[in-house]
């Protein structure tokens, strides 16, 4: 009986060590603050001029669609990144990550003066560099899903609210 209990303790101890080791290694990944690597996305299957026209048409068709936090469909409404994700998928069959921060991570930075229709603009509206985003539609304007107005609409980059919170321009097109 003593050997049976000793064997059980040994097996149980080994199991605890094994599970602890698994838990520690997965905890290190989570606690390190690193996200899974997001590969850059560069659109090469269509040139920017053609692709931007498709993006413009799809995005303009969404004007007036209700804002919905976490939303990513015409039926339920959109938030800012859900709208951009939807437009790129519908217009160009390009799959984007779900959040503004992750979309920023897979896109390439560009100078503001180099913005072209279909490029992305980002804003700090809640203490994070990429907390809001929109799709540039030309002439200093972008389309976005703002929670404040309740519907997808256009805005100007030079409006005080947006110009003070602008954190950068990015593109998914190969240049």
Q: Is 144 a catalytic residue?
A: yes
Q: Is 48 a catalytic residue?
A: no
As a dihedral over the C-alpha atoms of residue 60, residue 90, residue 174, residue 162, rounded to 10 degrees, the angle is 40
Catalytic residue among 4, 37, 48, 144: 144
Catalytic residue among 4, 22, 68, 80: 80
Say if residues 145 and 66 touch (Cβ distance below 8 Å).
no
Q: Is 80 a catalytic residue?
A: yes
Residues labelled catalytic: 80, 132, 144
């Amino acid at each position: 009986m003593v050997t049976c209990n000793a064997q059980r303790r040994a097996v149980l101890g080994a199991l605890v060590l094994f599970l602890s080791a698994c838990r520690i290694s997965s905890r290190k990944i989570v606690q390190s603050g690193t996200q899974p690597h997001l590969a850059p996305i560069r659109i090469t299957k269509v040139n920017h001029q053609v692709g931007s026209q498709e993006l413009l048409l799809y995005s303009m068709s969404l004007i007036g669609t209700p804002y919905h936090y976490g939303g990513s469909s015409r039926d339920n409404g959109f938030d800012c990144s859900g709208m951009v994700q939807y437009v790129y998928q519908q217009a160009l069959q390009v799959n984007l990550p779900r959040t503004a921060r992750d979309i920023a991570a897979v896109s390439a930075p560009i100078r503001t003066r180099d913005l072209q229709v279909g490029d992305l603009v980002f804003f700090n509206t809640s203490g994070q560099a990429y907390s809001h985003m929109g799709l540039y539609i030309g002439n200093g304007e972008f389309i976005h899903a703002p929670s404040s107005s309740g519907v997808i609409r256009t805005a100007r980059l030079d409006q005080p609210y947006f110009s003070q919170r602008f954190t950068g321009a990015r593109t998914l097109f190969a240049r």
